[in-house]
Amino acid sequence: MAASPSRTFSAAHDSGNARLRTRRLFGEAPKRTREARVLLSMIAWTIYLTFGGGVLVLVLPRAFARWVALFATIAGLALGTVVFVGTPIADLAHFTTIVRVPWVPALGMNYHLALDGVSLTMVLVTGISAVSTVLFSWDVEHRQNEFFFWLLVVVAGCYGVFLSADLFLLFVFYELVIVPKYFLIAIFGSTNKEYGAMKLTLYSFFGGMFVFVGILVAYVAGGSLDLNQLSQFEFSPQLQSWAFPVLFLGFAVLAGIWPLHTWAPTGHAAAPTAGSMLLAGIVMKLGSYAGLRVAMNLFPQGFQMWSKWIAVLAVIGIVYAAAVALRQRDLKFVIGYSSVSHMGFVLLGFATANALGVSGAVLQMFSHGVIAALLFAVAGRMIYRRTHTRELDALSGMNLSHAMPFAAFTFVVAAAASMGIPGFSGFAAEITILIGAWKTYPIAVWIAGAGIVLVAAFTLRALKLSFFGEKDAQGEVTKDTTVTMLSREEFNPITIPEKIGACMLMLTTLAVGVYPKLLLDRIMPAVETMRFLK
């Protein structure tokens, strides 16, 4: 387990191409300065600040809780943004070590964080979702400190997973996220919360069990826990053929792969708004990210053997979840199934095994993180908090587009982004995936295309029923009562934090939709260096 203990910054210097690009961008020699190094290592503080915020929330009095949470998450987002803007693109092509400290030397465990374009993208979406989540939880009163503590632990754990370059460390953060979700849902949730929370936790842990086996096998066979070292190691094909599906399936449970997705809709529906936003926005990405970073990168031959099965499951997931969403009565269930459908695109992107498809999948992870947060924010916070129902039939009689114009506007934007209307991030991501998939699985593209139509159908249906419902559908009598009962003054106005959060998410999806190169330029080189493409 001899590993150079140095801070490896040399890897990215290999390609002259990257050198050129850097020079073009910054007009100077691409010598990695001390500042660049400091800048890069700043990203590690996202984890510490968020954890620190969590502990602080627990010990400070009530009044500070939400402010501490807000500052902690904003700090995380700011760090992510600064590194995103300040780091030359060439530096993001390799999984560059930021911190490496011996942890348990006897077992070869290191506290080892690293960063590349893919993980930076995920860190960024974590920051955005986290800030908006806190903003949409501004009026949580019940056991406030506890609530924000669990929330910050989830966020910090997610940062940790995205930055880990040590298999054990990654698994620590990965499992760390599970239990806080249970408490977030079981204490603060709504519909059928204890069932939903337990189901979600057990499913996550069930997947974790497979991951545990896969990690142990990789560790024992490869003799190291360092992801960069392991991704150079040649595992025997026989081992890869069974270790890959075990590991990938374990991660994919959290990503909502069909047929192990059923925790997602119940969990999302039971969770408090913040919980659903975090769950759908980031936590599901932990599964797909780790599947890419660990399973596919470590066992490339195993991946090749199984990739078409992943594609099959992904396509079934896309179509099946969309079809089920079409029949749901609860708005949150609609969104929950739409998450499963969208995550199917991520898995399809992975299965293409080419740079374009995988990059599109990463872009889709970012995009869906923002869109899902937005959808759940509207459904859980703006609508449910005010009308106390999520039943589409009930909502359709309330004429919400007049009662809450801002909410209606937000939902229209979110729905458009979710459907994949050009100009929003969802379109950019899904079209990239489909182009990538065309080279490998043309049939899958046709079916997934049909899936997109279904997505559009259920999204429009939800949109119409929830905000633009026909009041006179049930006759004159109900029309009169609904109009008198639920006039505009009945609902509390949309609050400022809600507006800020919604605007932030909408601007993000718009920005990425209009200029996806912003992210793709950083994702593509990182994906291209991954082993399974070769």
Residues that bind other proteins (CB under 8 A): 103-107, 146, 168, 171-173, 175-176, 178-179, 182-183, 186-187, 194, 198, 201-202, 205-206, 208-209, 212-213, 216-217, 219-220
Q: Which of 81, 78, 91, 143 is nearest to 117 (CA)?
A: 91
Which residue number, 25 or 55, has a Cβ lying nearer to other proteins? Answer: 55
State the Cα–Cα distance between residues 496 and 514, nearest whole angstrom.
26
Q: Which amino acid is at 455?
A: V
Q: How far is the CB of 285 from other proteins (least distance, A)?
A: 19
Beta-bridge partners for 115: 96
State the Cα–Cα distance between residues 148 and 248, nearest whole angstrom.
31
Which residue number, 146 or 528, has a Cβ lying nearer to other proteins? Answer: 146
State the Cα–Cα distance between residues 439 and 434, nearest whole angstrom.
9
The DSSP H or E segment spanning 394 is: helix 392-396
Q: Scanning the structure block, which residue is given the tokens 């490896």? A: 8
Task: Kindly report the backbone phi and psi dihedral angles of residue 2, in degrees, each rounded to the nearest multiple of 5, phi listed first.
Answer: -75, 120
Q: How far is the CB of 221 from other proteins (least distance, A)?
A: 8
Q: How far is the CB of 126 from other proteins (least distance, A)?
A: 19
Q: How far is the CB of 481 from other proteins (least distance, A)?
A: 36
Which residue number, 188 or 427, has a Cβ lying nearer to other proteins? Answer: 188
Q: How many CB atoms lie within 10 A of CB 135?
A: 26
Q: How far is the CB of 181 from other proteins (least distance, A)?
A: 12
Q: How far is the CB of 517 from other proteins (least distance, A)?
A: 38
Q: How far is the CB of 195 from other proteins (least distance, A)?
A: 11
Dihedral angle sign, alpha carbons of residues 132, 133, 138, 144: negative
Q: How many CB atoms lie within 10 A of CB 490?
A: 12
Q: How far is the CB of 53 from other proteins (least distance, A)?
A: 17
Q: How far is the CB of 407 from other proteins (least distance, A)?
A: 31
Which residue number, 30 or 208, has a Cβ lying nearer to other proteins? Answer: 208
State the Cα–Cα distance between residues 470 and 477, nearest whole angstrom.
13
User: Cβ(236)–Cβ(244) under 8 Å?
Assistant: no
State the Cα–Cα distance between residues 191 and 61, nearest whole angstrom.
30
Which residue number, 104 or 496, has a Cβ lying nearer to other proteins? Answer: 104
Annotate 224-246 with b (16+ C-beta within 10 A) or e (fewer).
bbbbbbbbeeebeeebbbebbbb
Cis peptide before 61 (omega within 30 of 0): no
Q: Which of 92, 79, 77 is nearest to 32 (CA)?
A: 92
Distance of CA 11 to the CA centre of its chain: 28
Which residue number, 179 or 316, has a Cβ lying nearer to other proteins? Answer: 179
Which residue number, 128 or 186, has a Cβ lying nearer to other proteins? Answer: 186
Which residue number, 9 or 206, has a Cβ lying nearer to other proteins? Answer: 206
For 29-51, the three-class secondary structure string (H helix, E strand, C coil) is CCCCCHHHHHHHHHHHHHHHHHH
Which residue number, 168 or 303, has a Cβ lying nearer to other proteins? Answer: 168
Which residue number, 62 or 327, has a Cβ lying nearer to other proteins? Answer: 62
State the Cα–Cα distance between residues 352 and 440, nearest whole angstrom.
6
Which residue number, 178 or 340, has a Cβ lying nearer to other proteins? Answer: 178
Structure tokens at 459: 């999204």
Q: How far is the CB of 171 from other proteins (least distance, A)?
A: 8
Which residue number, 59 or 518, has a Cβ lying nearer to other proteins? Answer: 59
User: Cβ(331)–Cβ(395) under 8 Å?
Assistant: yes
Q: How far is the CB of 242 from other proteins (least distance, A)?
A: 10
Q: How far is the CB of 212 from other proteins (least distance, A)?
A: 6
Phi-psi region of 361 (alpha: psi -120 to 50; beta: other; left: phi over 0): alpha
> How many helical (H) and strand (E) elements, i.e. helices and strands, does the chain have?
27, 2
User: Cβ(151)–Cβ(274) under 8 Å?
Assistant: yes
